[in-house]
Structure 1
């Protein structure tokens, strides 16, 4: 029986981010709640209205292409590609 890999350590954050999709034509503002080497948790106004793949753009610079791994009304769990 194989064990699932250990989750990557998360660093708590409270920083502004943008979720970009629709070939860069659509942007939703959010708040980065935590981040690890493999993903992030982001608060948004309406997580149900976003597509399954987004680009996470950090306000201080840097970005990650992401898949939505967990979706709630006000929160997304993102997995970095």
Structure 2
């Protein structure tokens, strides 16, 4: 499988929360880079295209790049990036 990302992602297993319009959904971060992440969710239905991903390191503003079954690929869009 050919890699198309501009920066490699590292594998992680972190609990996080998808936060939007006063709602929140638990998720698991499966891999992470400076620019994006792969999230496991119970169901992608009802999750908007733009939301905040709340992790231990603080919130990240995200835009959904793709959705497949119970996984979502996101790109970080805010000024705050992973450190």
- Are the equivalent residues in 2 in contact too, given 1:48–1:73 (CA < 8 A)? no
Counterpart for residue 19 of structure 1 = 18
Q: TM-score, structure 1 length as denominator?
A: 0.84
Counterpart for residue 49 of structure 2 = 52
- State the shift of 1:69 in Å: 0.3
Could you list the runs of 5+ residues in structure 2 that have no partner in the other structure? 78-83
Show the 5 A alignment for 1:2-81: 7-22=6-21, 25-58=22-55, 60-81=56-77
Tell me the secondary structure at the aligned position of residue 48 of structure 1: coil
- State the shift of 1:67 in Å: 0.3
Greater Rg, structure 1 or structure 2?
1
Count residues in correspondence. 74
Structure 1 runs, 4 residues or longer, greater than 6 Å off? none
- Are the equivalent residues in 2 in contact too, given 1:45–1:73 (CA < 8 A)? no
How far does the alpha carbon of each residue in 1:31-60 deviate from its partner, in whole angstroms, 9 at most, with x for none? 0000001100000011132100010110x2
